[in-house]
Amino acid sequence: MIVLRDVIQQFGGRIVLEIPELHFKSGRRYGLIGENGSGKTTLIRMLAGTSKPTSGRIEGLEGKIVGYLPQSPYAFSFSVLQNAALALDGHKDAKELTKKALHAVGMESLVDARGDRLSGGEAQRMALARVLVRSYDVLLLDEPTSSTDVRSMDLIENTLREYVQKTQCTLIFSTHSPAQAFRLADEVLYLEKGRLVEQGSAETLFHSPQDERTIAFLKHWSLNS
């Protein structure tokens, strides 16, 4: 289990995230929702270790293999296949595993294309394949489908479901779409202005939210979008 205790993140004196206590149970899927600036990316970056909290502790990640897809992943100027195989350097089945991961995100026809010449959506799918080529204890995805079209989104969501089932990893992802959180997550966390407002099972949070702020946020969204 991953536990955050009294975690505060400040940038330039401004508190961007403040979480007194939060638990992520092993093997479950968590969806973070909230508007821009709510602290989703900050929370994911802290869990990934690319940003250190100003104060507080994050426990339970010691010795764990953590995979992380940032919001703006870098597309290297070599081929899609080489890009996606980066995490498997030296692995004897690297090519086969990479092709499989690219196929899972619908990128099999672009294996020879240059990574830095892909469209935004294609680059995002390539980056996701690059992460999914290997297995992790914890997988962190920061808006993994923000640039993808609806058809690709279905494919990616199915791929993620299969991946989590196969690897039994803990999945923590952020999304702008509450509907996606509802489809993918076991538990959904609503953040606002750097604070965790409400947390619960996807079903409970969407059908009977308790906090007024959650109700106000969700009323703008349809679960079909």
Partner 1 sequence: MIKQVFELLFGADPELRQIIGVTLRMSVMSTLISALIGIPWGVAMGANQFKGKAILSRITNTLMGLPPVVAGLIVFLMLSRSGPLGKMSLLYSVPAMVIAQVVLISPIIAGMTANIVSIRAPSINETCAGIGISGWKRLLLTIKECRIPFVTTILAGFGRSIAEVGAVQMVGGNIQFKTRVMTTAIMMQTNMGRFELAVALGVVLLIISFIINSLVHRIQEQTQRDRTA
Q: Which is nearer to partner 1, 69 or 104 (CB)?
A: 69
The C-alpha atoms of residue 48 and residue 70 are separated, in whole angstroms, by: 9
64 sits near partner 1 (criterion: CB under 8 A): no
Contacting range for partner 1; rule: CB under 8 A; set: 22-30, 43-51, 55-63, 167-175: 43-51
Q: What whole-number distance in Å separates Cα of residue 90 and Cα of residue 105?
A: 23
Give dist(CA 173, CA 171) in Å, integer: 6
- Residue 101 vs 218, nearer CB to partner 1: 101
171-200 positions binding partner 1, by CB under 8 A: none
Q: Could you tell me how far CA 170 lies from the centroid of its own chain? A: 11
Q: Is 49 in the site for partner 1 (CB under 8 A)?
A: yes
Residue 131 as a binder of partner 1 (CB under 8 A): the answer is yes
Should residue 68 be labelled a site residue for partner 1 when binding is judged by CB under 8 A?
Answer: yes
168 binds partner 1 per the rule CB under 8 A = no
DSSP state string for 169-184: -EEEEE-S-HHHHHHH
CB atoms within 10 A of CB 47: 20
Q: Is 13 exposed, middle or buried (0-12, 13-18, 19+ CB in 10 A)?
A: exposed
Q: Considering only 24-32, 112-120, 143-151, 215-223, which stretch makes contact with partner 1 by CB under 8 A? A: 112-120
CA distance 215 to 225: 17
Q: Under the criterion CB under 8 A, does residue 61 sit at the interface with partner 1?
A: no
The site for partner 1 (CB under 8 A) is made up of: 45, 48-50, 65, 67-70, 72-74, 76-77, 86-87, 89, 114, 116-117, 127, 130-131, 134, 140
